[in-house]
């Protein structure tokens, strides 16, 4: 089994008792981006953790109330926490992120080839 | 000619078609690009961090610590009383951001680790946690009914074994020091390391059976 998680990076050995550390590339980016913002002093791991706890609790409440919750996805909670941390620190406005995401979502397939 | 163009840029799922703006791949890409454009994040540092957690940081670091503690009673005592100092001396990268406590299994006492609120874990010693550790089921149930959860995971403890569940936090991360398997007397640290599984250092398994080596 070999999965190229990142361009230019050799396929990582499944060190984690056979479990890949990240199952999709975006999970790795979300992890690395949070770590980089912590390293850069934009927020601390403790602050990030508070957002993560909130995101996970939000999922669990929605799930426990029998609403149509998203299936459990840890890194979606991580991403939500990252967006909240970035917003709380005023690093980016929510509008700027939403506009960019909308622009990327409307790209034609194969746009970068 | 433009060898550096797009270096480190990720080519993710969007290559294969259109995705909603709410899809996680698109959201992460938007965040990353905007933060990089504003000079708040650095793509090559992100690449390096990801690679470090995929290739260099993992249970083999904790396994060495455990094997050395099995082989050296003095180190074992220190690991149980001042793990941070021992880890610092071993020059384990990233350990400075974590306060680590080591809990030893012994006859009649078994330790197991959880993070009930999120996913706190001794990254520097074990890497990133496995999916089951982060799951709502494990986080909720191992506190309420640890014996049943461990049995489901294949670890059957004696009825009179005391079970201690340690809830991690941003302040404290826990590592379990599993019992050294019988039949490993005189083994070198190099051989012992092979018996120390990730799951045994979380407390959901014993160290591997030396007969299986």
CA distance B179 to B184: 11
Structure confidence at residue A62 (pLDDT): 84
Location of structure tokens 């905007």: B34
Two tokens, residue B209: 């059976």
- From the list B203, B200, B210, B177, the residue with the least C-alpha distance to B72 is B177
Instruction: Check pLDDT > 60 for residue B8.
Output: no
Residue A7 lies in a domain: no
Number of cross-chain residue pairs from A and B with Cβ atoms under 8 Å apart: 180
Q: Rounded distance, CA B8 to CA A106, Å?
A: 23
Helix and strand numbers (H, E) in chain A are 4, 0
A33 in a domain, yes or no?
yes
Asked whether the beta carbons of residue A37 and residue B41 sit closer than 8 angstroms, the reply is yes
Specify the length of chain A in residues: 113
B11-39 confidence digits (pLDDT tens): 444 444 456 878 999 999 999 999 999 99
Range with the lowest mean pLDDT among A99-113, B83-97, B148-162? A99-113
DSSP codes of every residue in B64-133: HHHHHHHH-HHHHHHHHH-HHHHHHHTT-TTGGG--EEEEE-BTTEEEEEE-SSS----HHHH-SPPHHH
Question: In chain A, what percentage of residues exceed pLDDT 90?
Answer: 60
With residues binned 3-state (H G I as helix, E B as strand, rest as coil), the percentages for chain A, rounded to 5, are: 55, 0, 45
Reported as type and span, the H/E element at residue B163 is strand B162-167
Nearest CA in chain A to B140: A60
Q: pLDDT grade, residue A16 (50/70/90)?
A: very low
Which DSSP helix (H) or strand (E) runs through B173?
A: strand B173-177
Q: For residue A108, which residues of chain B lie inside 8 Å, CB to CB?
A: 18
Point out the residue among B14, B30, B50 whose CB comes nearest to the CB of A6.
Answer: B50
Residues of A with Cβ-Cβ distance to B12 under 8 angstroms: 25-26, 29
In a domain, A11, yes or no: no
Mean of pLDDT values over A19-43: 93
Interface touch A32/B47, C-beta < 8 Å: yes
Query: What integer pLDDT is reported at residue B173 of this predicted model?
Result: 95
Cβ pair A39:B7 closer than 8 A? no
**pLDDT, tens digit (0-9, with 9 covering 90-100), for B108-134:** 999 999 999 999 999 999 999 999 999
Residue in chain A closest to B120 (alpha carbons) equals A49
pLDDT-based confidence at B97, cuts 50/70/90? confident
What is the complex's ipTM, to 2 decimals? 0.84
Residue A98 lies in a domain: yes
- Residue B178: the pLDDT is 98
Q: What is the reported pLDDT for B20?
A: 83
All domains of chain B, ordered by start, with CATH? 14-55 (no CATH), 57-212 (3.90.330.10)
Domain-embedded: residue A9: no
* Structural domain of A88: 25-105
Least confident of A45-49, B4-8, B89-93: B4-8
> Does residue A65 fall inside a structural domain?
yes
In angstroms, the CA B129 to CA B58 distance is 9
Residue B23 has a pLDDT of 92
What tens digit of pLDDT does each residue of A37-79 get? 999 999 999 999 999 999 999 998 887 666 556 788 999 999 9
pLDDT for the residue numbered B187? 97
Residues of A in contact with B134 (CB under 8 A): 74
> Do the domain assignments include residue A111?
no
Q: Examine the residue annotation and report whether B115 is marked as an active-site residue of this protein.
A: yes
Ramachandran quadrant class, B65 (left: phi over 0; alpha: psi -120 to 50; beta: rest): alpha
- The verdict on residue A101 lying in a domain is yes
Q: Do B28 and A79 touch (CB under 8 A)?
A: yes
- Hey, what are B56's tokens? 């260099």
Both tokens of A54, joined, read 């909130």
Number of domains in chain A: 1
Q: pLDDT category, A110, cuts 50, 70, 90?
A: low
């Amino acid at each position: 089994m070999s999965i190229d998680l990142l361009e230019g990076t050799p396929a990582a050995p499944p060190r984690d008792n056979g479990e890949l550390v990240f199952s999709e590339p975006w999970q790795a980016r979300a992890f690395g981006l949070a770590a980089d913002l912590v390293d850069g002093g934009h927020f601390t791991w403790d602050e990030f953790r508070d957002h993560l706890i909130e995101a996970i609790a939000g999922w669990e409440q929605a799930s426990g109330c029998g609403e149509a919750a998203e299936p459990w996805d840890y890194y979606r909670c991580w991403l939500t926490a990252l967006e909240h941390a970035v917003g709380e620190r005023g690093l980016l406005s929510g509008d700027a992120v939403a506009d960019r995401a909308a622009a990327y979502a409307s790209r034609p397939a194969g746009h970068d080839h | 000619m433009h060898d550096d163009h797009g270096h480190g840029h990720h080519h993710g799922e969007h290559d294969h078609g259109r995705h909603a703006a709410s899809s996680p791949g698109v959201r992460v890409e938007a965040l990353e690009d905007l933060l990089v454009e504003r000079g708040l994040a650095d793509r090559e540092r992100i690449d390096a961090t990801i690679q470090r957690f995929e290739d260099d940081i993992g249970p083999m670091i904790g396994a060495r610590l455990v094997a050395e503690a099995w082989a050296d009673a003095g180190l074992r005592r220190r690991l149980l009383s001042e793990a941070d100092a021992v880890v610092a001396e071993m020059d384990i990268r990233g350990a400075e951001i974590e306060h680590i406590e080591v809990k030893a299994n012994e006859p009649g006492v078994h330790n197991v680790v959880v993070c009930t609120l999120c996913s706190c874990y001794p990254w520097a010693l074990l890497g990133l946690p496995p999916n089951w550790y982060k799951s709502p089921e494990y986080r909720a149930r191992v506190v309420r009914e640890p014996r049943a959860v461990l049995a489901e995971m294949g670890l059957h403890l004696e009825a009179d074994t005391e079970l201690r569940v340690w809830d991690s936090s941003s302040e404290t991360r826990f590592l379990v020091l599993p019992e050294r398997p019988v039949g490993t007397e005189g083994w070198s640290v190099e051989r012992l390391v092979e018996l120390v599984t990730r799951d045994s250092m979380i407390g959901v398994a014993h160290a591997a059976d030396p007969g299986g080596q």
